[in-house]
């Protein structure tokens, strides 16, 4: 039976992918995404549904676009905080966090319930539960960044004496969703992969053949980010970040990349650096498009590459998976058009939007000290419009923009969302990955940088990282506790044994997630990934190099080194058991009967009791029971034997009891003393 993909049908009908996916679900047709295939009978059903609503005017076969003004019932609106986790959103949706995580895993997002979702994850959840997930209006950040873009003579006062907050996260998602004038913006793409697999060749071909319309071909790239044009649509490529820089930027809160292209050579297959790049992209929650390169080589085996990647969780969509894979040959340019089309398709489903009217914010991509120009920084604007003359602030630097250059070296006066520019005028060189925003005055900018430096000096290690000893405290807020691990071993055989052992230790109550695994020494990249993923590093017969050890100390990342696999197994088992919530059990300590009631001035009523069983202790909890019904539960304020205050009264003795905040007791009531015992759970592994 002939089939057609959802995105192809959307093109024929002149509909957006999101609209068609929603329509299919309304018709009872279950599709995972725009890459899913449907048969022609279902396509005809969709066409008829559109005709009945008066929106489709031609048949699918005629390829005539249908009107885009289909009226649809507005989905339910859910407001969330920008810091809300997947688990928080699940509660808003009235779903169990495990169910939401399961849906995300099916869509290719390996994220725990305690992670903050990316825009792509929010889109998936919106479609899956037929809701509109937006950020609350009052959670856009402090008032200072919003007013920072105003001119000093705007006449607005009252808060002008407050200091700008240098650590304001780039509220890209907030601007995209809540700004009334938000418009689609170009996607920002990072190309990653193993060395010599053709990343640079691919970027060079794209840059030389797809430069923005109106520019001369073959222009030398001036900065580490540039725009290309494909069929009238712009795409921004980041040329600077390898997977290590990619994760280092994310470690500073810079979620700049929208899509990652993973380049794999068809004649070489999946290599350790390929897996490392893939795991870094997965940990960032960034959609991955695989470019199977060098298919023009005689020994190219693209199907073998697909098989290898599917073994590591990237199943190609033509095999029923969710990962877009495109065969390309970078040198002659074979398949490049299809690759760019897939990038635009994934970007369309993500519904990337930004406002150019809000205060400008963005990310520092790279920075250096030029002998002639001074401090120079390449930045990407994520929202708002950056203009020459504005005062820009990062965590470590500030300055008034004296000049801006685009990716071809031409001077520009302004830059909107998803625009890379090189800026001059900073006081010193910022750190790549830092977030920038606009300040109203130079004094405000100077104070903001000074406050950030002071915080770094006073508490450089204030951000706690996970250790095996602290797992229980770290995981109390999670529904399903999870231990993230970066695993490094000396040889492949050891790696497979450790991987198998760790996976077998996961249970329904607690699980292990291997963020990354590989053979060889523990590197800075491993430490950075562990820092971002809140993971520990487990090494077998390997050691961290000097830089990795130094970085692990500064980032508070725990490295556990072993030479015997059973030692690792015992340590991890103990840690996992610590992550389990203990069993709470009530233990009855003693029981007494109230036989007389005395009134004492300034104290109130005292219960004269006879201890029948066990003992009554001063520091235990007590409850008063009347005819089998508990009428009060609390603690003792006084325990006396005659006139003497005591700690404990054993069975067979009389005592006087007074209760904290309770005096409505009667003769014949029973007093039970009890304690809550916490019993540690164990795992049968």
Is the Cβ–Cβ distance between 300 and 170 less than 8 Å? no
pLDDT at position 466, please? 52
Model pLDDT, residue 43 = 80
Reference 205, options 186, 195, 218; nearest CA is: 218
In sequence order, which residues have a C-beta less than 8 Å from that of residue 342 and are 6 or more positions away?
Answer: 289, 324, 326
Which residues contact residue 459 at a Cβ distance below 8 angstroms, ignoring those fewer than 6 apart?
none
Q: Tell me the H-state helices in 210-319.
A: 243-251, 272-284, 302-311
Q: Which helix (H) or strand (E) holds 564?
A: none
Question: What's the DSSP call for residue 8?
Answer: H
Q: What is the pLDDT of residue 387?
A: 92
Q: Quickly list DSSP for 113-165.
A: TTSPP-HHHHHHHHHHHTEEEEE-GGGS--HHHHHHTS-TTSS--SSTTSPP-
Ramachandran class of 627: left when φ > 0, alpha when ψ lies in -120 to 50, beta otherwise? left
Across 256-333, the runs of DSSP E, i.e. the strands, are 259-265, 288-293, 324-327
The upper half-sphere exposure of residue 334, i.e. CA atoms within 13 Å in the direction of its Cβ, equals: 11
Q: For 409-433, how does the pLDDT look when each residue is reduced to its tens digit (9 = 90+)?
A: 889 999 999 998 999 999 888 887 7
- Alpha carbon separation from 194 to 198, 242, 445 (Å, rounded): 9, 10, 41
Quote the tokens at residue 227: 């725009």
Start-to-end CA distance of the chain, whole Å, equals 48
Residues of the chain with pLDDT under 70: 1-2, 33-35, 52-75, 108, 110-112, 114, 137-180, 209-224, 239-255, 452-480, 509, 577-583, 679-685
CA–CA separation, 212 vs 235, rounded Å?
A: 9
Strand partners, 658: 638
pLDDT, tens only, 463-517: 445 555 455 454 444 456 778 889 998 887 778 788 888 888 877 767 788 888 8
The pLDDT of residue 507: 75
Q: Please state, in angstroms and rounded to a whole number, the distance separating the CA atoms of residues 280 and 526.
A: 10
């Amino acid at each position: 039976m002939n089939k057609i993909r959802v995105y192809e049908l959307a093109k024929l009908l002149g509909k957006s992918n999101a609209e068609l996916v929603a329509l299919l679900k309304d018709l009872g047709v279950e599709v995972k995404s725009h890459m899913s295939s449907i048969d022609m009978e279902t396509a005809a059903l969709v066409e008829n549904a559109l005709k009945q609503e008066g929106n489709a005017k031609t048949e699918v076969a005629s390829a005539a676009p249908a009107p885009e003004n289909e009226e649809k019932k507005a989905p339910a609106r859910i407001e969330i905080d920008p810091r809300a986790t997947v688990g928080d959103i699940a509660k808003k949706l009235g779903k169990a966090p495990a169910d939401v995580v399961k849906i995300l895993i099916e869509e290719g997002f390996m994220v725990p319930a305690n992670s903050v979702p990316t825009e792509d994850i929010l889109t998936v959840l919106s479609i899956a539960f037929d809701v509109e997930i937006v950020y609350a209006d009052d959670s856009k950040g402090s008032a200072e960044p919003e007013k920072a873009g105003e001119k000093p003579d705007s006449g607005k006062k009252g808060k002008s004496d407050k200091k700008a907050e240098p650590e304001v996260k780039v509220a890209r998602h907030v601007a995209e969703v809540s700004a009334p004038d938000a418009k689609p913006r170009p996607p920002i793409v990072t190309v990653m992969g193993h060395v010599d697999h053709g990343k640079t060749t691919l970027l060079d071909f794209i840059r030389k053949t797809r430069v923005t319309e109106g520019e001369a071909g073959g222009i030398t790239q001036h900065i580490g980010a540039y725009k290309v044009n494909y069929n009238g649509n712009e795409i921004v490529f980041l040329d600077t970040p390898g997977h290590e820089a990619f994760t280092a930027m994310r470690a500073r809160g810079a979620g700049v990349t929208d899509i990652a292209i993973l380049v794999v050579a068809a004649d070489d297959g999946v290599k350790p650096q390929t897996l490392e790049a893939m795991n870094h992209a997965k940990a960032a929650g960034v959609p991955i498009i695989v470019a199977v390169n060098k298919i023009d080589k005689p020994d190219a085996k693209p199907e073998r590459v697909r098989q290898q990647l599917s073994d590591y969780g990237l199943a190609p969509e033509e095999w029923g998976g969710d990962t877009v894979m495109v065969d390309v040959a970078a040198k002659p340019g074979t398949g490049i058009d299809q690759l760019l089309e897939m990038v635009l398709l994934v970007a369309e489903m993500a519904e990337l939007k930004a406002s150019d009217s809000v205060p400008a914010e963005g990310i520092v991509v790279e920075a250096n000290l030029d002998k002639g120009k001074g401090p120079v920084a390449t930045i990407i604007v994520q929202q708002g419009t950056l203009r020459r003359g504005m005062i820009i602030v990062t965590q470590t630097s500030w300055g008034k923009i004296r000049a801006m250059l685009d990716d071809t070296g031409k001077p520009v006066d302004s830059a909107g969302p998803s625009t890379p520019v090189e800026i001059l005028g900073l006081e010193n060189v910022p750190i790549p990955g830092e977030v920038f925003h606009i300040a109203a005055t130079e004094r405000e900018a100077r104070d903001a940088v000074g406050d950030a430096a002071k915080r770094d000096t006073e508490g450089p290690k204030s951000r706690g990282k996970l250790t095996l000893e602290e797992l229980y405290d770290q995981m109390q807020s999670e529904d399903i506790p999870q231990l993230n691990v970066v695993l490094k071993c000396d040889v492949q055989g050891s790696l497979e044994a450790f991987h198998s052992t760790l996976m077998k230790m996961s249970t329904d109550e607690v699980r292990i997630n291997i963020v990354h695994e590989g053979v060889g020494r523990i590197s800075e990249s491993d430490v950075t990934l562990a820092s971002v993923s809140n993971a520990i590093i487990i090494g077998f017969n390997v050691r961290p190099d000097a830089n990795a050890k130094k970085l692990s100390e500064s980032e508070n990342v725990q490295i556990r080194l072993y030479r015997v696999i059973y030692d690792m197994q015992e340590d991890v088992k103990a840690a996992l058991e610590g992550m389990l919530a203990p069993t709470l059990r009530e233990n009855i300590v003693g029981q007494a009967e109230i036989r007389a009631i005395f009134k004492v001035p300034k104290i109130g009523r005292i219960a004269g009791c006879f201890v029948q069983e066990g003992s009554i202790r001063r520091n235990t909890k007590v409850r008063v029971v009347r005819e089998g019904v508990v009428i009060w539960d609390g603690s003792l304020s006084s325990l006396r034997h005659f006139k003497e205050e005591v700690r404990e009264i054993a069975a067979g003795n009389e005592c006087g009891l007074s209760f904290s905040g309770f005096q409505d007791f009667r003769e014949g009531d029973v007093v039970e003393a009890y304690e809550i015992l916490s019993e540690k759970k164990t795992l049968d592994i």
